[in-house]
Amino acid sequence: MTFAAPSHRLVGYDRVTDHVGDERDVPGEMLPHAKTIAHVPADDPEAAACWPLAAEEARALAGLLGVNIEWSRFDWFLEGFAP
């Protein structure tokens, strides 16, 4: 049995409700840059865990993706999802 690598998203959680307020797909070709921005350690090569992003990291990842986000309204994470 083979397992596919996880897909990834930039996810923003509402600070009041903790519900997902925004999600943006991270294309596979951008994952190496996203991992660098999120400071994903070498022991998680697929970035399968949920990695919190500081405001400047969330803005940098949004810039890489070419999207605008409400960085000050949400708590942002780089998250891996099983396809």
> Token pair for residue 52?
């919190």
Per the structure, the complete domain to which residue 62 belongs is given by 7-81
Asked if the structure places residue 2 within a domain, the reply is no
Domains in the chain, number: 1
Q: What's the pLDDT at 5?
A: 60
Burial class (CB in 10 A: 0-12, 13-18, 19+), 71: buried
> Token pair for residue 53?
């992003």
Residue 9 has pLDDT above 60, yes or no: yes
Q: For the whole model, what pTM was predicted?
A: 0.88
In angstroms, the CA 73 to CA 12 distance is 8
Asked if the structure places residue 1 within a domain, the reply is no
Name the residue among 29, 24, 42, 19 with its Cα closest to residue 81: 24
Asked if the structure places residue 31 within a domain, the reply is yes
